[in-house]
Chain A
């Protein structure tokens, strides 16, 4: 191994020293892309922090895309008998809005936090499999591309680009359905070849590829959290966010296979005429609903548990108290995760499951409210008697508790099957899950962004703008979705393009649309604030909030190796105890070999490229485009080539010498806040 030692005591951040290293050569004689900076560095990076930032950037982009789709939906529904957009486009918009927000917005933004924070919170230098992490990122980008490239072709058809050449996408397929239009749940038999066009193929393959990305990332995080903890960081000393990451990862690895197989069966139905969901040949469309919700319900907890973890970090920090009932919060999270697999049929009460099944799923659904309630009481316990500081992240986190609770209450209403039969497929359900996913998850994630951005970019977001966005988002959100409870209970159905004027729905729809635009402005300003912070914001100290967990003990910006010396953890909330308590953190002695860093790699990127080619051409193949089959094989071939080269090049690696400015470099710098608190 060609390990290179760089000893430069005056250089504080060893990251920049990469240009001075002799590059690692793999067994194949190829040079690893370690020496680069700029675009090549970002494309080939194995650094979990950079991967996290890229996940975050992609997620925000898709939040904006999904947001624009939502605003178009609301604009269409603002008045009765509106014909701003066609019914077909409306179907595509709500399908892609749901799919985008769930798979390309919330999940990757959670993944951004997993990536950036988990190794820092457990005192590790990287994840267990750095290149697999890069693979997850690029596979996610590939899946997102496949899903959204359908919009490009739809747009091209609408404005008339490429002339008639788009008609090669299948002679028997309506070209107004290039973008997916079957709903994010893709209920059979609507997704059958007879009813929807090439859009469904884009949707199937896109979700398959996103599934691979999520699975790979989850395997990686479970191994990282179980195996890579710093000495003394026992499981019951893990920060709650890391615990929730662990539980979420388990949910992903057990829930995604169900949708993967269901999608594969659907793809076989569409491509090869099998009979899984085709009623005319004995298939049972209801089976799709079951398989989808076997995945779909755990998915809800996959979305919400990370936000719960974020809030569990923020509330104690700004209450200046330890988290109330830490073991109970962890245990409740695990129980929610486990029970999440046993309640899927509550999405299907109106399909007629039979009395026993309905009663059982109803009871289990009510049971799952218990651990959720336990968490809320524990968060309130954490606030009680604390010295609460209403910082921007704290305002968002408090908003989370309140809004999520409202979503939870309507959830309990749904768990009662007779009530659910009234609310099924009405705007009441839309209100419910937006309170959970937007009022809950999005507020939690925004809280996390405002909380950790100073650590991520080393710069402070504008606080005034932060408060303004918090008010706009929370107010706009309630103005949008609260009236939907009324709309739903007065019978307005979901997924309808328009409605008649004499139904009494006009007023609340108009209010909801106005609220949606306020919400949109709020989220947009929030992202503008963060983007501005990343480039121009004022410098932030390493520990601006007087934090409790290990990530705040690192210098800002965090060096490539995270910790110059591995910390030895003495307590839960170890950094807080280090600063204000009696148990000082210790550091493992330097072994004199420098820090081993994994080498960067091109191959995960090649795999991602292969997946994008594979996915896009798979949809074209289903549509009967000539030569698409060869492109499918080429795409898969690229993935295989990528995997072989990846295996053969080996982990590689080089050594970095951490800075030696005496003891100061080893110990975390006490922030001004921390000093003042003494």
Chain B
């Protein structure tokens, strides 16, 4: 956190941040542009997917570190947030791995659907 002791110091500090924020905002816009373009490129799906994930993670961390001041703040905040983030991501990956189309009987769903529509 800023430890400015006078308002003048605070102003100098925040004005320096203005440039950081501006450059970051421009970089984010460019990264988003790249994301939109590459999905239409004739590259292998795995490459596009990897690039998309990497770019999103970069954007994600750029926002939380600079816009949300985590880089200026105490480390504790970063790890508190990461705890939630890691648990959420981990749970999501585990859930995705647990579900498989092999466990779903589409014919069964179709028969239940027609049964339900007959009831109605």
| A and B are interacting partners | yes
Contact A254 B87 (CB under 8 A): yes
Residue B98, interface by CB 8 Å: yes
Interface residues of B: mostly helix, strand, loop or mixed? helix
User: B91 to chain A: which residues have CB within 8 Å?
Assistant: 258, 294, 341
- A281-B113 contact, Cβ under 8 Å, with A254-B84, A341-B87, A352-B103: yes
A476 to B72 CA separation, bound complex (whole angstroms): 58
Residue A345, interface by CB 8 Å: yes
Contact A280 B98 (CB under 8 A): no
Residue B40, interface by CB 8 Å: no
Contact A284 B112 (CB under 8 A): no
Residue B44, interface by CB 8 Å: no
Contact of A279 among B83, B90, B109 (CB under 8 A): B109
Q: How far is the CB of B17 from chain A (nearest CB, A)?
A: 26
Contact B113 A280 (CB under 8 A): yes
Q: How far is the CB of B79 from chain A (nearest CB, A)?
A: 12
Give the total of B residues in contact with A, Cβ under 8 Å.
20
Residue B16, interface by CB 8 Å: no
Q: What 0/1 pattern do residues 80 to 120 of B give for CB contact below 8 A with A?
A: 00011001001100110111100110000100110111000
Contact A282 B87 (CB under 8 A): no
Q: How far is the CB of A674 from chain B (nearest CB, A)?
A: 37
Q: What 0/1 pattern do residues 326 to 347 of A give for CB contact below 8 A with B?
A: 0000000000000001100100
Taking CB atoms and an 8 Å cut-off, the chain B residues in 14-70 that contact chain A are: none
Contact A345 B98 (CB under 8 A): yes
Q: How far is the CB of B61 from chain A (nearest CB, A)?
A: 21
- Chain B residue nearest to A222 (CB atoms) is B80
- Chain B residue nearest to A287 (CB atoms) is B99
Q: Can you pick out 18 interface pairs between chain A and chain B where the beta carbons lie within 8 Å of each other?
A: A226-B76, A254-B83, A254-B87, A279-B109, A279-B112, A280-B109, A280-B112, A280-B117, A281-B116, A282-B109, A286-B103, A287-B99, A294-B95, A341-B87, A341-B90, A341-B91, A352-B103, A354-B98
Most chain A CB inside 10 Å of its own CB: which residue of B94, B97, B109, B117: B94
A586 to B76 CA separation, bound complex (whole angstroms): 29
User: A345 to chain B: which residues have CB within 8 Å?
Assistant: 98
Residue A660, interface by CB 8 Å: no
- Chain B residue nearest to A356 (CB atoms) is B97
Q: What 0/1 pattern do residues 6 to 48 of A give for CB contact below 8 A with B?
A: 0000000000000000000000000000000000000000000
User: B87 to chain A: which residues have CB within 8 Å?
Assistant: 254, 341
Residue A290, interface by CB 8 Å: yes
B-side interface residues toward A, CB under 8 Å?
76, 83-84, 87, 90-91, 94-95, 97-100, 103-104, 109, 112-113, 115-117
User: A352 to chain B: which residues have CB within 8 Å?
Assistant: 103
Taking CB atoms and an 8 Å cut-off, the chain A residues in 212-266 that contact chain B are: 226, 250, 253-254, 258
User: A342 to chain B: which residues have CB within 8 Å?
Assistant: 90, 94
Sample of 10 more A-B contacts, CB < 8 Å, known A284-B99, A342-B90: A250-B83, A254-B87, A258-B91, A280-B113, A280-B115, A286-B103, A341-B90, A345-B98, A353-B98, A354-B100
A258 to B90 CA separation, bound complex (whole angstroms): 13
A-side interface residues toward B, CB under 8 Å?
226, 250, 253-254, 258, 279-282, 284, 286-287, 290, 294, 341-342, 345, 352-354, 357
A416 to B87 CA separation, bound complex (whole angstroms): 25
Contact B98 A357 (CB under 8 A): yes
Contact B104 A284 (CB under 8 A): yes
Interface residues of A: mostly helix, strand, loop or mixed? helix
Contact A280 B116 (CB under 8 A): yes
User: B83 to chain A: which residues have CB within 8 Å?
Assistant: 250, 254
A654 to B112 CA separation, bound complex (whole angstroms): 66
Contact B95 A290 (CB under 8 A): yes
- Chain A residue nearest to B87 (CB atoms) is A254
A646 to B109 CA separation, bound complex (whole angstroms): 50
A281 to B117 CA separation, bound complex (whole angstroms): 10
A357 to B99 CA separation, bound complex (whole angstroms): 11
User: A226 to chain B: which residues have CB within 8 Å?
Assistant: 76
User: B115 to chain A: which residues have CB within 8 Å?
Assistant: 280
A258 to B87 CA separation, bound complex (whole angstroms): 11
Q: How far is the CB of A278 from chain B (nearest CB, A)?
A: 9
Q: How far is the CB of A174 from chain B (nearest CB, A)?
A: 17
Q: How far is the CB of B74 from chain A (nearest CB, A)?
A: 11
A294 to B91 CA separation, bound complex (whole angstroms): 8
User: A353 to chain B: which residues have CB within 8 Å?
Assistant: 98
- Chain A residue nearest to B103 (CB atoms) is A352
Q: How far is the CB of A301 from chain B (nearest CB, A)?
A: 14
A614 to B49 CA separation, bound complex (whole angstroms): 44
A341 to B97 CA separation, bound complex (whole angstroms): 16
Q: How far is the CB of A273 from chain B (nearest CB, A)?
A: 12
User: A279 to chain B: which residues have CB within 8 Å?
Assistant: 109, 112
A287 to B91 CA separation, bound complex (whole angstroms): 13
A424 to B110 CA separation, bound complex (whole angstroms): 30
- Chain B residue nearest to A290 (CB atoms) is B95
Q: How far is the CB of B107 from chain A (nearest CB, A)?
A: 13
A253 to B99 CA separation, bound complex (whole angstroms): 26
Q: How far is the CB of B100 from chain A (nearest CB, A)?
A: 8
A287 to B95 CA separation, bound complex (whole angstroms): 9
- Chain B residue nearest to A283 (CB atoms) is B109
A290 to B95 CA separation, bound complex (whole angstroms): 8
Contact B84 A290 (CB under 8 A): no
A107 to B83 CA separation, bound complex (whole angstroms): 23
- Chain A residue nearest to B120 (CB atoms) is A280
A254 to B115 CA separation, bound complex (whole angstroms): 40
Q: How far is the CB of A263 from chain B (nearest CB, A)?
A: 17
A235 to B97 CA separation, bound complex (whole angstroms): 38
Most chain A CB inside 10 Å of its own CB: which residue of B87, B97, B112: B87
User: A294 to chain B: which residues have CB within 8 Å?
Assistant: 91, 95
Q: How far is the CB of B11 from chain A (nearest CB, A)?
A: 28
Q: How far is the CB of A583 from chain B (nearest CB, A)?
A: 28
- A290-B98 contact, Cβ under 8 Å, with A254-B83, A341-B91: yes
- Chain A residue nearest to B94 (CB atoms) is A342
- Chain A residue nearest to B98 (CB atoms) is A357
Q: How far is the CB of B22 from chain A (nearest CB, A)?
A: 32
